[in-house]
């Protein structure tokens, strides 16, 4: 949620600046570049708390310590599979992809 909030803040800075630069007839490419640079500078200077929260959220998701994104049903299926495998150690699972028709 922090990443989304920070992204929306930056977009809210970028959009009016882009429109302003288009209104000043700088051209589309130059307007994008100027609006992006100014939005970056303003967000870097004044929104450090939100930027740090967004970075922490991304780090938490990518660090490997985050909870898996599974539904309750998927979690229950995984636990049932794990318990069956623990009860039957001689069973192996082959993860071959979907089979082609006729094979």
Q: Mean pLDDT in each 10-residue stretch from start to end of the chain (103 residues)?
A: 93 96 95 96 94 91 75 84 85 70 61
What pLDDT score does 34 carry?
Answer: 96
The per-type count for the chain, helices as H runs and strands as E runs, is: 4, 0
Kindly report the number of other CB atoms within 10 A of residue 56's CB atom.
Answer: 12
Contact 53, 24 (CB under 8 A): no
Contact 34, 17 (CB under 8 A): yes
Q: How far apart are the first and last CA of the chain?
A: 46
Contact 9, 43 (CB under 8 A): yes
């Amino acid at each position: 949620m922090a990443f989304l909030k920070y992204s929306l803040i930056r977009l809210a800075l970028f959009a009016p600046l882009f429109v302003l630069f288009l209104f000043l007839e700088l051209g589309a490419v130059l307007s994008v570049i100027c609006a992006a640079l100014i939005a970056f500078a303003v967000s870097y200077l004044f929104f450090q708390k939100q930027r740090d929260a967004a970075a922490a959220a991304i780090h938490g998701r990518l660090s490997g310590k985050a909870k898996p994104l599974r539904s309750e049903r998927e979690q229950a299926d995984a636990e049932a599979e794990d318990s069956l495998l623990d009860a039957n150690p001689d069973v192996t699972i082959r993860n071959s992809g979907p089979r082609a028709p006729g094979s």
